[in-house]
Amino acid sequence: MAYYYSEPSRTFSEYLLVPGYSSKECRVDNVSLETPVVKFKKGEKPELSMKIPLVSAIMQAVSDDGLAVALAKEGGISFIFGSQPIESQAAMVRRVKAHKAGCVTSDANIKPDQTLADLLELKQRTGHSTTAVTEDGTPEGKLLGIVTSRDYRVSRMDPATPVKEFMTPFEKLIYVKDGCTLSEANDVMWEHKLNALPVIDDNQRLTHFVFRKDYENHKANPNEILDSHKRYIVGAGVNTRDYAERIPALVEAGADVLCIDSSEGYSEWQKDTLQFVREKYGDSVKIGAGNVVDKEGFDYLAEAGADFIKIGIGGGSICITREQKGIGRGQASAVIEVAKARDEYYEKTGIYIPICSDGGIVFDHHMTLALAMGADFIMLGRYFARFDESPTNKLNINGTYVKEYWGEGSNRARNWQRYDLGGDPRMKFEEGVDSYVPYAGSLHDNVNLSLTKVKSTMCNCGALSIKELQQKAKLTLVSATSIVEGGAHDVILKDTSRDVK
């Protein structure tokens, strides 16, 4: 006979936090959102943590190398989407790892025998006024000189003039050697009044540039998460089909953490993938698994060796799995049960396995609810898709700016590896839609605002850390009437758009 749950499947919108005692210490600037990403033993520290509890979804419309760098600067991790060729995904990972804190890989490079016309075309394409002149025209080539807008006058020079005739040659450049600290590089820039400082290796090959503006950005991002070589942390998604080829390529490219991207994680396919990682790499490669929605699914993946476990089936804004297949669970119910299973597993084994809530976040306060219910961090798709840094097109539709957003279960994504259960390797029906989301501006501004709300609510609950929130939180179910009461009601709202100049 089928098993029936006695409680209905509940969402975050059906709960409210009840305030707790707040001491004078409960101020937003005292709240820490640091959270573990991978499992660790009792009394030890996790090998990988984040400064903020946010990761970006493993989706074409969300997580490329551009968003990964932006999110790492804020303290979170992006999981580069896996529904692409192995080589292109690995290249995205390498591009993220090429960024050092305060340093950038040169993306405006030219050969010395190219012309002023070539330089102007490159400048128009990249928008950069500082161009590295390298032997082979690549970002890692032997540095022969630098060209800035001070080195030429378009109105008085022949467009066919070779770059080598007007560049600042290497002998006249101020530079530093690879291994120089960012602080030391900044001192050199200030001493010589430079806006750009090349970093070279022992063979005179260009490794990075330090720009004054990037150094200032680095100082303005105290939460950025870096590896031992001062490079940004980045994750990558893998599937349960080509993992034997994809995982080694991503590890070689420098991915710090992997995650199996699957619509349903309680399966032997995931166990096989985890077993492959453990047999080949031991515990040196970190990999999460999922998605699951109950204790049985959590316990299965925990025993299989997952470093973190992802929760959620059918709760994403573009996911229609529940509609198409009648399977899934309300995200609040799933997080509550899996969090309890996580704590029981910790008590039994002494191993803490972080859990990630994936889906169901509609409003900023849902983030706080997910954390209070036990999630260690939250995976977001629609939220990040709205920002400048996401890889999709920004469009103007009927006077409103939007960005494209599509699900990995849609035909547009063609991510059959994520949903296939055998047979013809094509999308037989869709579990995701193709849509638009309102354009919201920069990632930095929005994440800052969202997490300020989270911190403020934590202070109302008397909590200064996520773990303390989970211990002190008091949650209540809400009625339909109280949801109405929670918004503006029984008033005539002003049309504030007239006040905007």
Structural contact between residues 158 and 224, judged by C-beta atoms closer than 8 angstroms: no
Please indicate whether residue 319 is annotated as part of the active site: yes
Question: What amino acid occupies position 296?
Answer: E
Query: What is the per-residue DSSP string for 330-386?
Result: -HHHHHHHHHHHHHHHHHHHSEE--EEEES---SHHHHHHHHHTT-SEEEESHHHHT
- Dihedral in degrees, nearest 10, Cα atoms 469, 63, 405, 288: -50
- The Cβ of residue 124 has, within 10 Å, a number of other Cβ atoms equal to 8
Rounded to the nearest 10 degrees, what angle do helices 212-219 and 182-192 cross at?
A: 130
- In whole angstroms, what is the distance from residue 421 CA to residue 269 CA? 10
Tokens of 412: 């547009």
- In whole angstroms, what is the distance from residue 52 CA to residue 484 CA? 31
Structural contact between residues 146 and 169, judged by C-beta atoms closer than 8 angstroms: no
Q: In this structure, are strands 377-380 and 355-358 parallel, antiparallel, or unpaired?
A: parallel
Cα distances from 279 to residues 257, 274, 286, in angstroms, run: 17, 9, 13
- In whole angstroms, what is the distance from residue 269 CA to residue 469 CA? 35
Q: How many CA atoms lie within 13 A of 88 on its CB side?
A: 7
- In whole angstroms, what is the distance from residue 418 CA to residue 247 CA? 15
Please measure the distance between the N-terminal and C-terminal CA atoms of the chain and give it in whole angstroms.
Answer: 65
Structural contact between residues 261 and 111, judged by C-beta atoms closer than 8 angstroms: no
Annotated active-site residue in 246, 386, 418, 461: 418
- The Cβ of residue 76 has, within 10 Å, a number of other Cβ atoms equal to 31
Catalytic machinery residues: 319, 418
